[in-house]
Amino acid sequence: MNNAQSVLVFGATGQQGGSVARALLHRGWRVRALVRDPFSAGDAALAARGAELVVGTFEDRAAMRSAMAGVDGVFSVQPSSPGGTVTDEQEVRYGITIADLAVECGVKHLVYSSGSAAGETPTGVAHYDTKAEIERHIRRLPLAATIVRPATFMELLVMPGFGLDEGHFHFFMLPEGRMQVLAVEDIGHLVAAVFAAPARFAGKTFEIASDSVTGRQLEALFSAAAGRPIPYSRFSDEVLAASPFLHKLTGLVDDGRLAGHADLDAMRQLHPQLHTFAGWLSGPGRPAFERALTSGANWAFNR
């Protein structure tokens, strides 16, 4: 695929889709986006960057087919998160519908964004098992497709609710345990590299990440950024016992499925300017980190 070709980006005003749309537009690609409200601030900003907006929703199959007509590539990502706005059944249906329409419309290359812990073995966590179901459907289709599995977002680590406002930080891994992380902005550059080489990546499934950090490294980086000690510890046994969702995710980190296995050297070949967590924290992540130092929140860890 070259810069004269076009890509339909789903979720183009969200984190992943927005990153992909910006990266493709920056490279001179033609981007089409399915949007709910073309007059919203986010959609208007996307249009100002040069994207073509098509009005529709994930529930509107006809609008999705119309948006897909004539494009060369499709980036597929669906709304999904703990406490999110869609059910697990809706997420699966949206992902399957997009893939089926890509076949109907003769799309040359579909890139589907899954999750790092998704795979053949069920996790018991709907957030990942829904994506594994969509992956299985895509592989059965006569379609050139690439499945990327993003690591845990760097942005998640500086959201309120992990203790930074109380002077400490809790997360999933043990203090010496390692976990891969991904800057949302890097997603777009990595996906753009995949679209640029369909012959190389069609039929492939692989994890994507920007960097790898331990709990101790997070402690040092957060402490330096805050100018005061921010000790790190895993979620307490009491917290894990009270939250089945957190307990399952911690188990996935311990058994390696959520710790991340992306080839970071290969990632840097695709995008040499990948963020390190240290660089991200001192740059684009700094405002969110400062907010997290002063505002607490209770996450809806309930799935």
The pTM of the full predicted model, rounded to 2 decimals, is 0.94
| Per-residue pLDDT reduced to its tens digit, 170-211 | 999 999 999 999 999 999 999 999 999 999 999 999 999 999
Q: What is the CATH number of domain 6-152+183-208?
A: 3.40.50.720
Mean pLDDT value of segment 217-233: 98
Q: Which residue, 150, 180, 155, 151, is CA-closest to 286? A: 155
pLDDT of residue 18: 96
- Is 303 a residue whose pLDDT tops 60? no
What are the backbone dihedrals phi and psi of residue 214, each rounded to the nearest 5 degrees, phi first?
A: -105, 165
120: tokens are 């053949």
What are 255-274's pLDDT values in tens digits? Answer: 999 999 999 999 999 999 99
User: How many angstroms separate the CA atoms of 205 and 201, rounded?
Assistant: 8
pLDDT in tens, 232-246: 999 999 999 999 999
Q: Given phi > 0 = left and psi -120 to 50 = alpha, else beta, which region is 106?
A: left
Could you tell me the pLDDT band of residue 301, with boundaries at 50, 70 and 90? very low
> Higher pLDDT residue, 3 or 14?
14
pLDDT band of 2, cuts 50, 70, 90: very low
pLDDT at 298: 54
Q: How many angstroms separate the CA atoms of 173 and 132, rounded? A: 23
Higher pLDDT, 37 or 136: 136
Return mean pLDDT, the chain: 94
Q: What mean pLDDT comes out for the span 111-122?
A: 95
Instruction: Provide DSSP, the chain.
Output: --TTSEEEETTTTSHHHHHHHHHHHHTT-EEEEEES-TTSHHHHHHHHTTPEEEE--TT-HHHHHHHHTT-SEEEE-----TT-SS-HHHHHHHHHHHHHHHHHTT-SEEEEE--TT-SSS--S-HHHHHHHHHHHHHHHSSS-EEEEEE-EEHHHHTSTTSSGGGT-EEESS-TT-EEEEE-HHHHHHHHHHHHT-HHHHTT-EEEE-SEEEEHHHHHHHHHHHHTS---EEEPPHHHHHH-HHHHHHHHHHHTTTTT----HHHHHHH-TTPPPHHHHHHTTTHHHHHHHTT---------
